[in-house]
Structure 1
Amino acid sequence: MAQQHRTDHLLDRVGPRLRATRTARGLTLADVSEGTGISRSTLSRLESGKRRPSLDLLLPLAELFRVSLDDLVGSPGTGDPRIDIRPLTRGGVVHLDLGGEGPVSAHKTVIPGTRRPQDRVPDMRSHPGREWIYVLAGTLRLVLDGHEYTVEPGESAEFDCTLPHWFGAGGPQAVEYLGLSSRSGERVHLNATVPDPSESA
């Protein structure tokens, strides 16, 4: 009876974990549906808890998100503190989920360099939460709510993700940066190097 209760509790947590994993990767339900063959209505019911997850649904989701099945469902860990990092590549951009439980998750992103950065048309996106980034290498081109900034190695930036934003390379060298994402919208760093757009309007 106790084991069944633990199983039910674990399955009840899968929906929110699926939604958090998807949004942390910047994917829509349509993106996930295309990548897994699972209908958007089924995915929506899984995330809302209206449908119980099954192995035939969880396996393609774990493969798309590049996480283990245990990580996807949040099963108890074995005590090994190491994180199994599996790169996810979309459009030449490499994303590495560095882990993180609760309201804040960590990730590393590598964006290919370009010799003509101004030719890249920003694909602006917005979503709930707050983002803090720290550039490791290359020049990051950040377009935020109609304003453009460059963030150099050793510099950081923080902003509200509900503002339309886009990241790109600011030169021929690939850009590498670390990021902390707060899904709840809470600040994840004390200072931001990106000014408030309203101040420069």
Structure 2
Amino acid sequence: MGTRLRAVRRARGLTLEELAHGCDMSTSTLSRLESGKRQATLELLLPLTRRLGIRLDDLVDPVPADPRVRRPIIRRDGMIIAPLAPEHSPISTYKITYTAGAADPPLKTHDGFEWLYVLHGKLRLRLGEQDLILHRGEAAEFDTRTPHAMSAAGGRPAQVISIFNDAGARMHTHTALE
């Protein structure tokens, strides 16, 4: 807490003496607070936070957010879609499993770009007039305004990591209830 207090004081362009005087405390008390040699009390901290224009919470380490992504898996149209990023993340990232034997989906278009990487199996990527088979370890990037569709190839599931913009996320993850 003392390190944060010192950083805020310096950012405000105040000396130890100026801040201590403005809070009606001794310079040595403030110095000991900043160096961690004095226990902070509300009696000492409240005048300091008021004078610095900050909250008490600004002086303590924030509780780190839980980094785990806890979103439900989506099952639709022969795909198992596992979100890999929080719902409001600037990047939509999913692990998609295309099940074997599912009907070939129709070609679709939407604004944006898609990036994908094949983790397991073979992925059939129909992209405009092209009909491509991507193997494990291969990647692709394409403009999603080009008609495209993906499915498993070779009689086994294909698993990919897909990254796309919001329009692509809606296209891939919407359900009949939405």
TM category (shorter chain) comes to: 0.5 to 0.7
Extract unaligned runs of 5+ from structure 1.
1-76, 186-201
Please give the alpha-carbon distance, in whole angstroms, between the structure 2 residues aligned to 1:93 and 1:169.
9
Instruction: Give the aligned residue type for 1:131.
Output: E
CA deviations over 1:10-62 (Å, ceiling 9, x no partner): xxxxxxxxxxxxxxxxxxxxxxxxxxxxxxxxxxxxxxxxxxxxxxxxxxxxx
Matches within 5 A, 1:78-157: 79-99=65-85, 101=88, 103-114=90-101, 120-157=103-140
Distance in 1 between the 2:167 and 2:107 partners? 21
Counterpart residue number, 2:164: 181
Q: Distance in 1 between matches of 2:130 and 2:140?
A: 14
Asked if the contact 1:130/1:184 (under 8 Å) is kept, the reply is no
Q: Is the 8 A contact 1:131 1:181 kept in 2?
A: yes
1:74-98: CA deviations, max 9, x gaps? xxx9711111031100123111111
Supply the distance in 1 between the matched residues of 2:167 and 2:74 (Cα, whole angstroms).
24
Please say if residues 133 and 180 of structure 1, whose CA atoms lie closer than 8 Å, have aligned partners that are also in contact: yes
Aligned residues: 105
In the TM superposition, 1:9-48 aligns within 5 A as none
Q: How big is the shift at 1:105?
A: 1.3
Aligned sequence identity (%): 31
Matches within 5 A, 1:42-57: none
Deviation at 1:184, TM superposition (A): 8.4
C-alpha distance in 2 between matches for 1:91 and 1:122: 8
CA distance in 1 between counterparts of 2:83 and 2:127 reads: 23
In the superposition, relative to structure 1, how do residues 121 and 109 fare at CA in structure 2: closer, same or farther (>3 Å)?
Answer: closer
2:69/2:83 contact within 8 Å kept: no
Tell me the TM-score normalized by structure 1.
0.47
Which of 1 and 2 has greater Rg? 2
1:102 CA displacement: 5.3
Distance 1:131 1:112 in 2: 20
Structure 2 Cα separation of the partners of residues 108 and 81 of structure 1: 17
- Work out the CA distance in 1 between the residues paired with 2:163 and 2:143: 12
Change (3 A) 1:184 1:86: closer
Question: How far, CA to CA, are the matches of 1:169 and 1:135 in structure 2?
Answer: 11
